[in-house]
Amino acid sequence: MQKQATRVLLMVSLVFFIFIPVAAAGPVMDRIVKEGKLVVGLTGQQPPMNATTKQGELIGLDVDLARAMADALGVELEFRTLAFADLLPALVSGRIDVVVSGMTATAARNRQVAFVGPYFVSGKGLLAQAERYAALKSGEGLNAPTVTVAALKYSTSLAFAEELMPKAQLIPTDSYDEAIKLILAGKVDVLVADYPYCALTSFRYQDKGLAAGQSPLTYEPLGIALQEDTLLINWMQNFLVTLEGSGELKKMHQKWMSGGAWVNDLP
C-alpha cells in the first residue's frame, strides 16, 4: 500500500509539472517544450554518479535523475557525453539544456550559470596505492615536489589539490579513466576525486592495491546546472522537492551508493 501511495503521489506531481510550464515558458523551457526533448550533459565516467557500461549503456544516480526529470516534463531525453571541462561551456552556448554530472555548485560556477539542489552531498576523497594509505587519512605528507597528483581539469578536486598540495606535481586529466590508468602504471601517486568515486574504485581495484580514505575531506553540494531561465529554475526546484518528498530521491541514493550487481557491468 505504501509503494502504491508513493506512485500515486509521484504521478499526480508529474501531471502538475507536465502542464504548468506550457502556460508561460521562458526561453529555455519554451525550447524544451516545443522540441519535446531535454538534452542533458554528463561525462559518463563518474561512477556511481554516472558511468558507461561494457554494453555502452549510461547508468548511475545522475542518469536516473535525468530520466525522472524528462518524464516529469513529458519530453524525450537525450544524453550528450562530454569531458567534464566542456560541460559548462556547452551549457552556456546552448548545446545542452542542463548539466547533471556530479558537479559541485560553487560560487565561481554560480556566476556563470544557475544551480538547483543539492540533490546529493559529496566530498573530496583521495585514492592511491596502498603504501600511501597512511598519508591518505589526513592528506599530510602529500605536499612534496616528489609527489604526483591527478585531478579532473577545471574541477573542484583540482582546486582542492592546488590548495592542499601546492608543492606537489599536479596533473590535470580529462577523465577519471585517464587518471586511474596513470595510477596503475605508476605515473601518478594520488588521485583527488569525489569521495564516492574513490570508495567505489578502491573496492573495484582491491587486487591492484588501490586504497581510499575512510571519509570525505570536504563538503560538496552537487547540483543541477541550468541556463538563466526563471521558469525552468523554479520548475527544477519544485521537481526536486517533489522527488525528495515522495521518497524517490532517497531510493536513487540507496540504489547507487550501496553498490550492487551494476558494478560488474562497468568496463
**pLDDT tens digits, residue range 208-232?**
989 887 788 899 999 999 999 999 9
Residues of the chain falling short of pLDDT 50: 1-6, 8-9, 11-23
Q: pTM score, two decimals?
A: 0.85
Is the preceding omega at residue 48 within 30 degrees of 0, hence cis? Answer: yes
The CA-based dihedral angle spanning residues 108, 253, 174, 90, taken in that order and rounded to the nearest 10 degrees: -60
Looking at residue 117, what is its pLDDT?
96
Q: Give the 3-state secondary structure percentages of the chain, helix then strand then coil, rounded to 5.
A: 50, 25, 30
Instruction: Please tell me the CATH superfamily of domain 2-122+220-265, with its number.
Output: Periplasmic binding protein-like II (3.40.190.10)
CATH 2.102.10.10 at 124-212, yes or no: no
Q: Which is it for strands 98-99 and 37-42: parallel, antiparallel or unpaired?
A: parallel
As given in the structure block, the three cell numbers for residue 216 are 570525505
Q: Where do the domains of the chain lie?
A: 2-122+220-265, 124-212
Is the preceding omega at residue 118 within 30 degrees of 0, hence cis? Answer: yes
Q: Which strands form 114-122's sheet, in the order they lie side by side? A: 76-81, 37-42, 98-99, 220-226, 114-122
User: Which residues have CB under 8 Å from 171's CB, separation 6+?
Assistant: 148, 149, 150, 151, 179, 182, 188
Looking at residue 65, what is its pLDDT?
98
Distance CA(220)–CA(155), nearest Å, equals 12
| Contact in structure between 106 and 63 (CB atoms under 8 Å) | no
Looking at residue 215, what is its pLDDT?
80
Distance CA(139)–CA(202), nearest Å, equals 17
Nearest residue to 238 via CA among 252, 224, 258 = 224
Element (H, E) at 117: strand 114-122
**pLDDT tens digits, residue range 139-149?**
557 888 888 99
Q: Which residues pair with 81 in a beta bridge?
A: 42
Q: Do domains 2-122+220-265 and 124-212 have the same CATH topology?
A: yes
Length of the chain: 267
Residue type, 60: G
